[in-house]
Amino acid sequence: MTLPRFLQHLTFLAGLTIGTAASSAFAAGSLVTDISSHLISVTSDFTGADLLLFGSVRDDESFKTDELGDIIVVVRGPQKNVTVRKKERVAGIWVNTESVEVRKVPGFYAAASNRPVDEITTPDTLDRLRIGPNRLVFQTDVGKREAASFKEAIIRQQGQSELYTSVTPTVHFLGPSLFRTTIHFPANVPVGNYTAEFYLFQDKELISAQSSPLFIKKFGLGRQIFDFAQNYPTLHGIAAILVALFAGWVASALFRKD
C-alpha cells in the first residue's frame, strides 16, 4: 500500500467516524438526523440500494413545534469534470463540432421534500441551496448563454440514467416532529464521497441545516480487482493475458476429440 493511498484510507475512516458522530451526537439548531447506513458497499451482485434518511425536529427558541415545519433532503454525489460535445451535420454525417469543458458536475443528485419546494421557500433560497437538478451550478470557461444548452444536456442525460432526480414529495412526517424518506441509488451510481443535506424551514425561512457524509465504495472481489488494476497496471495486464491464454487452452482441451 503506497503512502497516499494509506492516507486516503485514513481520512476515509476518520470521515466515517466524524460523520456518524456529527449526525447522531450533536444537532445543529433544531435538527437531529441520521442515515440508515453511511456506507453503501458495491459488491459483484450490486443492483442498487435504498437508504433511509430520517430525523426529528426539536422544540427550541428558534422553532415552535405547534407550527409545522418543512423538510428538504438533498443527496449529492462526487464532483467530476466532463467534456460535453455537440454534434452538427457536416456533409451529411453527424460530426462533433463544439465542445465545452464543464467542471464540478456531481455524479449523483437526488432530493426529497414533504411538499412542493416552491411552497416551502422562496426561489432565491432554492437557488442558493441548489435544490433540484435545474438549479445546479456548473463551472465553464464560456459565457452563460453559450454554456446553457450544454448544461441542459448534462442534466437531461444524467436524468435519463437515473443519476439526477428532481425533488420528489417523499419526505413523510410521522407525528409532529419525526420525519423520514428513502433515496434510491441505481446500479450505475458512481463510487465516491457523498453528502446528505437536511434543511428545515418554517414560514419560508431556513431555520436549520445539517450535512452528513455518505460513502459508496466497492467491496469484495470487485474491489480487489479494481485496486489491483489501479495499483499494479502492468501485472494486471499480464494477469489478464494469462487468464485469457488459460481459458482458451481449457476450452480447446475440453472440446478435443480423441
Partner 1 sequence: MPVYLPIAEISVNLFLILGMGGAVGLLSGMFGVGGGFLMTPLLILTGIPPAVAVATGANQLVAASVSGVLAHWRRGNVDFKMGTVLLVGGIGGSFLGTWIFALLKAAGQVDLMISLSYVLFLGVIGGLMLIESVGALLRNRRGPAKRKKMHQHYWIHGLPFKMRFRKSKLYISALMPLGLGFLVGILSAIMGVGGGFVMVPAMIYLLGMPTSVVVGTSLFQIIFVTANVTLLHSITTQTVDVMLALLLMSSAVVGAQFGTRIGARMKGEQLRSLLALVVLVVCAKIAFDLVLTPDDLYSISLVEGKI
**Taking CB under 8 A as the rule, which mask of x and - marks residues 180-199 in contact with partner 1?**
-------xx-xxx-------
CB of 168 closer than 8 Å to CB of 144: no
CB-count burial class (<10 Å; 0-12, 13-18, 19+) for 166 = middle
Nearer to partner 1 by Cβ, of 40 and 131: the residue is 40
| Residues contacting partner 1: total by CB under 8 A | 64
Listed residue (48, 46, 43) closest to 225, CA to CA: 43
Q: Establish if 159 lies at the interface with partner 1 (CB under 8 A).
A: no
**Taking CB under 8 A as the rule, which mask of x and - marks residues 136-155 in contact with partner 1?**
-------------xx--xx-
How many residues in the chain? Answer: 258
Nearer to partner 1 by Cβ, of 137 and 253: the residue is 253
Listed residue (199, 190, 139) closest to 163, CA to CA: 190
Per CB under 8 A, which of residues 2..21 are in contact with partner 1?
none
Q: Provide the 10 A C-beta neighbour count for residue 47.
A: 6
Q: What DSSP letter does each residue of 8-77 carry, written as one string? A: HHHHHHHHHHHHHHHHHT--STTEEEEES-SEEEE-TT---EEEEEEEEE--BTTB-TTS--EEEEEEE-
Nearer to partner 1 by Cβ, of 66 and 88: the residue is 88
Nearer to partner 1 by Cβ, of 7 and 251: the residue is 251
In angstroms, what is the minimal distance from the CB of 4 to partner 1? 11
The C-alpha cell at 99 is 465542445
Between the two ends of the chain, the Cα-to-Cα distance in Å is 49
- Among 56-64, 74-82, 117-125, 167-175, the segment contacting partner 1 (CB under 8 A): 74-82
> By the criterion CB under 8 A, which residues form the site for partner 1?
42-48, 78, 80-89, 92-96, 99, 101, 149-150, 153-154, 156-157, 187-188, 190-192, 218, 221-223, 225-226, 229-230, 233-234, 236-241, 243-245, 247-253, 255-256
